Structures are given as C-alpha cells and as structure tokens.
Amino acid sequence: MPKPVMVDRCVCHDVSFATVLDWARSRDSMTVDDAKAQFGCTGSCGMCRRYLTTSLETGEPRVPLVLQQDKPGA
C-alpha cells in the first residue's frame, strides 16, 4: 500500500504547520483564525484550512491529503 501524501504547510504563505504549532504551544489557546491573523494561513486560497484545523486539533505537523470530500449520505 502506498504511503499517503502529506500536507505540512500553507502553500500560499509558505508557513509550515510545525511553525504554527510551535507558536500555538506558547499560547493558552489557538484557533485557525489566530493562525490567519499571525501568519496569513487560510487567508488566500483557503485550501489549507481543513489541514491546519486538523493539525491544531491533533498536534501533528503533517496531515494526510484528502483527495475528495465525503458526500453526505454516501
């Protein structure tokens, strides 16, 4: 089985999720909107939002690429 492709950054702003996580650990709480304000992540194309959200929830700097949205009722 091939290894999954991993997403590890906001490509538009070239900010790694590891950088965001390091910054988040120095704060009491951290949201995607906080990351947007500090680093610009999710503020351009928005494709990294789901991955950054997962990274912040799990503490993992690399998140598997999702190739398609799950369809409700599928």
Q: What is the pLDDT of residue 64?
A: 96
CATH number at residue 36: 1.10.10
Residue 16 main-chain phi, psi, to 5 deg: -75, 150
Distance CA(20)–CA(35), nearest Å, equals 7
**Considering the domain boundaries, does residue 72 fall inside one?**
no
**Considering the domain boundaries, does residue 32 fall inside one?**
yes
Q: Enter the pTM of the model.
A: 0.85
pLDDT digits (tens, 9 = 90+) for 22-70: 999 999 888 999 999 999 999 999 999 999 999 999 999 999 999 866 5
Number of structural domains found in the chain: 1
Structure token digits, residue 39: 């680093």
Q: Is residue 72 very low, low, confident or very high in pLDDT (cuts 50, 70, 90)? A: low
Instruction: Please give the residue range of the domain that contains residue 18.
Output: 6-64
CA proximity to 61, closest of 12, 18, 27: 18
Q: What is the pLDDT of residue 69?
A: 62
Cβ distance 13 to 44 under 8 Å?
A: yes
